[in-house]
A and B are shown apart, each in its own frame.
Chain A
Amino acid sequence: MTELLVKNACVIDPLRGINGDVMDIAIRDGKIVEEVSDAAEVVDARGMLTMPGGIDSHTHICGTKVNFGRYMSPEDMRAGRTPRRGPMHATSGYSVPTTYGNSYRYSVMGYTTLLEGAMAPLEARHTHEEFTYTPLQDTMANTLFDGNWAIMEAIRDGDIKRVAAIIAWTLSAVKGFGVKLTNPGGTEAWQWGKNVSCIRDPVPYFEVTPAEIIRSVVEANELLHLPHSVHLHCNNLGTPGNYTCTLGSMGLIPDLNPKRQTLYATHVQYHAYGGSGWKDFCSKSEPIANFVSMRPQIVIDMGQVMFGRTTTMTADGPMEFNLYRLHHDKWSNHDVELETGSGIIPVVYRRKNLVNSIMWSIGLELALLTKSPWQCLLTTDNPNGAPFVKYPEIIALLMSKRYRDAEFATVHPDTGSRVPLPAIERELDWNEIAVMTRAGAARALGIQDLGKGHLAPGADADIAIYPLKIDEVDPSAEYQKVIDGFSQTEYTIKRGRVVARRGECLVHGSNATFWVRPKVPENYDMSKDPDFIEKFERYYTVRMSNYPVQEEYLSRNRCIETEADL
């Protein structure tokens, strides 16, 4: 039995409605408890800001795509080099660091749980192997279903239960957590050299539309009672005028779940563009944020862009090809058989570029204009908008109008006529930031009942203590203190152990992976379905028996069983 007592913590724990109370937190064997014995080790938080460990609800840190980003940009490894130190491995890389680089930097910022935004089922082993070497966070993987042949056929046949059954089998097989749709239908169309322009365009050969894919998969997701909702990267990413497509996609979604949203729309900054081309490109954050504010069934994340060098990577192959034609630099394109694809290119977002300046504004506007912080979570779609190490700066921008104005003065001079940002007075408070970076993320991912995102007895003892005294710092004026405070915790506690202190990681750690196994009736067991088996064996390059990821690939195995309504 190991016990730890965190004393004098100034706690913000939004899921329990605690906002700045000074209290003690008792921990036994990795869980929060009511009280501990006098023998407990003591950590004195001295009134510092204490929150549940950070949760990134959409990031790209592990798997084939990320690794190919490393592979094609060896020059990225020139940045962020740190030598081996104590239990810390050597690290390198800035936008696509080594797995240890990701893990240490997130830990130093107080993050303890990460959702990998896109895992191609066929390539799941690579993601799980890299999870093992991301030791200081618990992880889970969104699993890509945007171009899944069997699912599109079931949708064409109008059989939602079969859609659910295929999702159930695949998630169990690849140890996936959530259902991800990336440019639904578009990546499959890309395998024929095409794309879909919006939700009413049919996918070549399959003759289903993105709208049908989104609707059917959302229904199937709820039939399976998955913890997380469908996680959607809308069609038409990065195109001027795409906000109508985004609104159309969100408008498809009924409210089917009382505990959480029915649709999680990711990196919405990239989907909130007005104009008919790059010449009249402008922000449409207002209609998007207003729409979201009126619909509790939708949660979005920002996908904030920050200026500087980074790497873009997504399963949205055709979009990356369009980006490549703009930048004419390096490009990688990848096809994943019957499932999905991907593309990667390095980019530099520049202040003196008008389009980039507008993108930077839009992300902030979404967070400031969406009324409830529970409905707009803080992300950069790491590393697409910026590497996650920029989060402290984003927090400070959201908390300080003065900081925003100072930054706005440095961007392209025409930005002001294209965006509403300068007129927005709102400054988020500490509690709202806590929602956007942990409590809201836990609720949206459906992991609060698994002990994530709050500090109630029974919860995982994942805690971030920041060197900030919230009654002494005025975030509106002292934004540099906010940036510094969120950049480096005083203590990061993971599973009841202090894992990071003032920038140093102290233990090797051990990752746990959350995955879902929906229980389906015998007649919906795809491993026994003759048609599914026949097509699998005919079209995949692997045998169906070799496809599932063995549980040995998971270092700590947190299987979530659900009962499907089929």
Chain B
Amino acid sequence: MKVTLAMKPAAKGFIPIEAESIVPKNFLSGTDLLVWRGNRELRLDEVFSVSVEGEADRAEGVEVVLSGETFRLKRVGEYMDGGKITVLGDIGMHCGNFMTAGTIEIHGNADGWLGREMAGGAIVCRGDVADYCASGYRGGRKGMKGGTVEVFGRAGDFLAENLADGTVIVHGDAGDMPGAEMRGGTLIVHGDCSRPAANMKGGSCYVYGTAREMIPTFKKIGPVQHDGRTLIQFAGDLANRGKGNLFVKNYEYLD
């Protein structure tokens, strides 16, 4: 079953739309769903032109395609447990929160908190992601617990903060503090970033470019071969009695 949701021009505007109901499973019982804009609850067809092709009896058989100006559409795919969501443009904050299975593919950019606390499944973003991609909740101890997030553009600050398990790959640069407080899992940044893996307890963080403002409380182990690259391995964060591994191609300390 393919559900196409084309954002109606009238629904444009500054106020974000909270659309946690847009999850493949929910379309098994029709398109009679509700979303919120500010303090107003709206029917799905007030916001989108809705069309459905084919049938499905399980979430895995459902693909939801979002098109139009979807950059202010929040919480799409929250608690998603199967199926596929394809976003042809940009997507708003908190897309794929808590998802456990299925796939979300975003052709444009994603706003903050993409895949926050996800536990399984896969998110692919072809554009850039804003801050707190694949991270935890504010103040929480455990962030992403499983699954994969792959970003082909750049990532903002606090990428994979509190990462507990799963894999996060960014092909471009990342901002400040990627992998902060991480305790497990794997984070790979193909480009540059600053202050990676601060306060890490466990897991592995790879920076294939240059790590600027390296945290001084990591112990240098020496060069290692990884995936055809020569990287320098560090252990830490000693400030947190950490047992994590940080691998960087190049690094600079703050003067």
Q: Which residues of A contact B (CB under 8 A)?
A: 72-76, 78, 328-330
- The one of A72, A75, A328 in contact with B140, judged by C-beta atoms closer than 8 angstroms, is A75
CB-based contact B139/A75 at 8 Å: yes
Residues 132-157 of B, flagged 1 when their CB comes within 8 A of A and 0 if not, give 00000111110000000000000000
B139–A328 touching, CB < 8 Å: no
* Interface membership of B219, Cβ < 8 A: no
Contact of B138 among A74, A328, A329, A330 (CB under 8 A): A74
A73 to B138, CA, bound (A): 8
Which residues of B lie under 8 Å from residue A74 when comparing CB positions? 137-139
Contact of A72 among B139, B141, B241 (CB under 8 A): B139
Which residues on B sit within 8 Å (CB–CB) of A329?
141
Residues of chain A within 8 A (CB-CB) of B138 are 74-75
Closest chain-A Cβ to B158's Cβ sits at a distance in Å of 14
Which residues of chain B have C-beta atoms less than 8 A from A328's C-beta? 240-241
Query: Which residues on A sit within 8 Å (CB–CB) of B140?
Result: 75
Chain A residues near B240 (CB-CB < 8 A):
328
State which residues 213-255 of B face A: CB under 8 Å: 240-241
A-B pairs with beta carbons under 8 Å apart, 16 shown: A72-B139, A73-B139, A74-B137, A74-B138, A74-B139, A75-B137, A75-B138, A75-B139, A75-B140, A75-B141, A76-B139, A78-B137, A328-B240, A328-B241, A329-B141, A330-B139
Please, what's the 1-or-0 string for B110-142, where 1 marks a CB less than 8 Å from any CB in chain A?
000000000000000000000000000111110
Q: When chains A and B are docked, how far (Å) is the Cα of A75 from the Cα of B139?
A: 5
**New A-B contacts (5) at CB < 8 Å, excluding given A75-B139, A328-B240:** A72-B139, A73-B139, A75-B138, A78-B137, A328-B241
CA distance A73 to B139 in the complex (A): 5
Whole-angstrom CA separation of A330 from B240 in the bound complex: 12
Bound complex: CA A329 to CA B142 (Å): 12
Which B-chain residue is minimally distant from A77 (CB atoms)? B139
With a CB–CB cut-off of 8 A, which chain A residues contact B141?
75, 329
Distance between A350 CB and nearest chain B CB, rounded to angstroms: 15
Give the residues from 71 to 93 in chain B that come closer than 8 angstroms, CB to CB, to chain A: none
Closest partner residue, chain B, to A73 (CB atom)? B139
Give the docked Cα–Cα distance between A329 and B201 (Å): 12
Identify the B interface with A (CB < 8 A). 137-141, 240-241
Bound-state CA distance A328–B240 (Å) is: 8
**4 tightest CB-CB pairs across the interface, nearest first?**
A75-B139, A74-B139, A74-B138, A75-B140
Give A215 Cβ to nearest chain B Cβ, in Å: 43
Q: Say what secondary structure dominates the interface of chain B.
A: loop
Query: Can you name the residue of chain A whose Cβ is closest to the Cβ of B140?
Result: A75
A319 and B241 alpha carbons, distance in the complex (Å):
22
Which residues on B sit within 8 Å (CB–CB) of A73?
A: 139
Q: Which of B138, B139, B141, B241 has the most CB of A within 10 A?
A: B139
Bound Cα distance A330, B140 (Å): 11
Contacts of B139 in A (CB 8 A): 72-76, 330
How close is A494's CB to chain B, nearest CB, in angstroms? 31
Residues of chain B within 8 A (CB-CB) of A76 are 139
Query: What is the distance, in angstroms, from B22's C-beta to the closest C-beta of chain A?
Result: 22
Query: Given the complex, which residues of B lie within 8 Å of A72, measured CB to CB?
Result: 139
Shortest distance from the beta carbon of B131 to any chain A beta carbon, whole Å:
16
> Least Cβ distance of A201 to chain B in Å?
31
Chain A residue at smallest Cβ distance from B138: A74
* B40 CB to nearest A CB, Å: 15
Closest to A329 in B: B141
Query: In the assembly, what is the distance between CA of A328 and CA of B141, in Å?
Result: 12
Which chain A residues lie closer than 8 Å to B137 at the CB level? 74-75, 78
**Which residues on B sit within 8 Å (CB–CB) of A75?**
137-141
The CA-CA distance from A72 to B138 in the complex, in Å, is: 9
Min Cβ gap A92→B in Å is 13
**Chain B: which residue is nearest A76 at the CB level?**
B139
- Measured between C-beta atoms, what is the minimum distance from B75 to chain A in Å? 15
A329 vs B183: C-alpha distance in the bound complex, in angstroms?
13
B180 to chain A, nearest CB (A): 14
Chain B minimum-CB-distance residue to A78? B137
Cα distance A76–B140 when bound, in Å? 9
Docked pose: A508 CA to B141 CA in angstroms? 36
Give min CB distance, B242 to chain A, whole Å: 11
Nearest Cβ in chain B — how far from A289, in angstroms?
38
Which of chain A's residues have a CB closer than 8 A to the CB of B241?
328
Q: How far is the CB of B135 from chain A (nearest CB, A)?
A: 13
Provide the bound-state CA to CA distance between A72 and B139, in Å.
7
**Closest Cβ–Cβ distance, residue A421 to chain B (whole Å):** 32
In the bound complex, residues from chain B placing their C-beta under 8 Å from that of A78 are: 137
Q: Complex Cα distance A76/B137, Å?
A: 11
Of B137, B240, B241, the most chain A CB neighbours within 10 A belong to B137
Smallest beta-carbon distance A389→chain B, Å: 21
Shortest CB-to-CB span from B43 to chain A, Å, is 21
Q: How far is the CA of A555 from the CA of B11 in the complex (A)?
A: 45
Complex CA gap A543/B126 in Å reads 59
C-alpha gap A74/B139 in the complex (Å): 5
Please give the distance in Å from A251's CB to the nearest CB on chain B.
Answer: 42
Q: CA separation between A304 and B140, bound complex, in Å?
A: 26
Q: Nearest Cβ in chain B — how far from A2, in angstroms?
A: 36
| Cβ–Cβ < 8 Å partners of A330 in chain B | 139
- How far apart are the CA atoms of A330 and B137 in the complex, in Å? 15
How far does the alpha carbon of A355 sit from the alpha carbon of B140 in the complex, in Å?
Answer: 25
Residue among A75, A328, A329 with the highest chain B CB neighbour number at 10 A? A75
How far does the Cβ of B122 sit from chain A's closest Cβ, in whole Å? 26
Instruction: Report the separation of the CA atoms of residues A227 and B175 in the bound assembly, to the nearest whole angstrom.
Output: 59
Tell me, in angstroms, the Cα distance from A513 to B66 when the chains sit together.
56
B78 to A: closest C-beta gap in Å: 14
Report how far A74 CA is from B136 CA in the complex, Å: 12
B18 CB to closest chain A CB (Å) equals 14
The minimal Cβ–Cβ distance linking B136 to chain A, given in whole angstroms, is 9
Alpha-carbon separation in the docked complex, A89 to B191 (Å):
48
In Å, the complex CA distance between A330 and B199 comes to 12
Among residues of A, the one whose C-beta sits closest to the C-beta of B240 is A328
Closest A-chain residue to B137, C-beta based?
Answer: A75
Q: Report the separation of the CA atoms of residues A74 and B140 in the bound assembly, to the nearest whole angstrom.
A: 8
Closest chain B residue, CB of each to CB of A75: B139
The CA-CA distance from A76 to B138 in the complex, in Å, is 10
Query: How many whole Å from B94's CB to the nearest CB in chain A?
Result: 14
Instruction: Quote the shortest CB–CB distance from B178 to chain A (angstroms).
Output: 21
Docked complex Cα distance between A192 and B23 (Å): 57
CB distance from B100 to the nearest CB of A (A): 18
CA–CA, A73 and B241, complex, Å: 22
User: In the complex, A72 Cα to B141 Cα: how many Å?
Assistant: 12
Nearest Cβ on chain B to A70's Cβ, whole angstroms? 10
Instruction: Tell me the minimal C-beta distance from A332 to chain B in angstroms.
Output: 12
Q: How far is the CA of A441 from the CA of B175 in the complex (A)?
A: 55
| Complex Cα gap A76–B240 (Å) | 23
Q: How far is the CA of A66 from the CA of B232 in the complex (A)?
A: 45
The distance from the CB of A98 to the nearest CB of chain B, in whole angstroms, is 15
Give Cα A329–Cα B140 distance, bound, in whole angstroms.
11
> Closest CB of chain B to A81's CB: distance in Å?
14
Q: How far apart are B118's CB and chain A's nearest CB, in angstroms? A: 17
The CA-CA distance from A76 to B241 in the complex, in Å, is: 26
Q: B136: nearest residue on chain A (CB-CB)? A: A75
A57 to chain B, nearest CB (A): 31
Q: Taking the nearest CB of chain B, how far is it from the CB of A500, in angstroms?
A: 27
